[in-house]
Amino acid sequence: MTLYCEESLTAEQEAHIRQVAPAARVISARDLALEPGLIGEIEVSYGHLPAELWPKATGLRWMQSSLAGLDALLQDEAIRDHPATLTNVHIHASSISEHLWGMCLMLTRNLHTAVLAQGSHAWDREAMIRGLGNLHGRTLCVVGLGEIGRRCAAIGKAFGMKVIGIRRKGAWGPPAPEADRIIGPADRLSAFSESRVIMVVLPHTTETVHFIGRKELLAMDSAYLLNAGRGSSVDTDALVEALRAGKVRGAGLDVTDPEPLPSSHPLWSMSNVIITPHYAGIHPGYDAEAFAVFIDNLARYIGGRPLANVVDKTRGY
């Protein structure tokens, strides 16, 4: 078996591979550049093969990504149509949920404003208490009740919030005790209208583009909107309008559409908007955790067992 690794491996990582697949031939991007004919021999890939090589990767059976969302990769028809199985990693729940709640607390407690005032050495208590919000007793709506969404919901419960979860299968999916109520996408307007905080952790699919559009934003009633899924889930122009109209009281955005956000975009200068450059999922130890997922899946592959975290190429996750 020939195994391709996109990034250079450490001696420890190579040792882990040898423990699971002692007979494997491990090649790197440098090896492939020196000997392009190796592309047809690759059976397993850890990391992404360049899109232009996929039609020549006739022996590829499985690619393990170190990312969660593969929507950008699957925009290429050659990759979508390739028979190889794709798997991803689910190691983002803690960091993304903490990032979202960090932005939420900054907005509700005016912490972002206080930090700016601190830079000017200004003690302006009246300005800080103006428009303060509370979470206890309010309603949280989590849009996308997967592993990340459920952790967001659990933290909301710890704040004493009522939690509504939205997922594709609605109440018919697996149990999610973190949510008080679970609904399907068709009922989102009523959920948005009663929620003080709305957290969006949706993948990019044809079904989720502008899942929160002008109609959904108009249904909100002074809500805080936070997005760490994909920027395409929210209609950016409509969001600007909703922020100006007060339908959205504040926004925390780790993802935007377009991305990166142009420097002239009005969202940058809005005092009730926090923007971070799409790093909510990054955390110390990320590479080691992703590699551990690969090693576990490699053992499954060698043993003929089902792989974990298989990606639906049609849905992109």
**Residue 52 burial (CB count, 10 A):** 9
Q: In what order do the strands lie in the sheet with 62-64?
A: 25-28, 2-5, 42-46, 62-64, 85-87
Residues with Cβ < 8 Å from 196, sequence gap 6 or more? 133, 135, 138, 139, 140, 222, 223, 224
* Cis status, amide bond into 174, omega within 30 of 0: no
Is 230 an annotated catalytic residue? yes
Q: How many residues does the chain have?
A: 317
- Active-site annotation holder among 61, 210, 214, 278: 278
> What is the rounded CA–CA span in Å between residue 58 and residue 54?
8
DSSP for 15-75, written as a single string = HHHHHH-TTPEEEEHHHHHH-GGGGGGEEEEESPPPGGGGGG-TT--EEE-SSS--TTGGG
- Active-site annotation holder among 48, 167, 196, 230: 230
Q: Are 60 and 42 in contact (CB under 8 A)?
A: yes
**How many CA atoms within 13 Å lie on the side-chain side of 236?**
17
Residue among 247, 246, 271, 273 at smallest CA distance from 127: 271
* 122 three-class SS: coil
- Active-site annotation holder among 259, 265, 289, 300: 259
Residues involved in catalysis: 230, 259, 278
